[in-house]
Amino acid sequence: YHYNALTCEGCKGFFRRSITKNAVYKCKNGGNCVMDMYMRRKCQECRLRKCKEMGMLAECLLTEIQCKSKRLRKNVKRHA
């Protein structure tokens, strides 16, 4: 699970980047693009909408401070 939804690694990264950058995308087809493995790179607005429809939640993203803290705990545990 990534951000509360069962997704691929590519969509996980796309969603994280889109949310952290507060990205605003514009669909050239009026928001009617069909998202599949091949078309997901063609329309970012429809891809982000699909992420949200699948249940991905912005609230599940860690802040930069939370991310650094988690990484630090992981390294301490690894070297203990």
What are the structural domains, with CATH classification, of the chain? 9-79 (3.30.50.10)
Q: Please count the CA atoms within 13 angstroms of the CA of 57 that sit on its side-chain side.
A: 7
**Dist CA 28 CA 69 (whole Å):** 40
Q: What is the pLDDT along the chain (80 residues), one digit of tens a residue?
A: 899 999 999 999 999 999 999 999 999 999 999 988 888 899 999 999 999 999 999 999 987 788 888 888 888 888 76
63: left (phi over 0), alpha (psi -120 to 50) or beta: beta
Whole-model pTM: value is 0.81
> For 22, which DSSP code?
T
- Tokens at residue 12, please? 């996980």
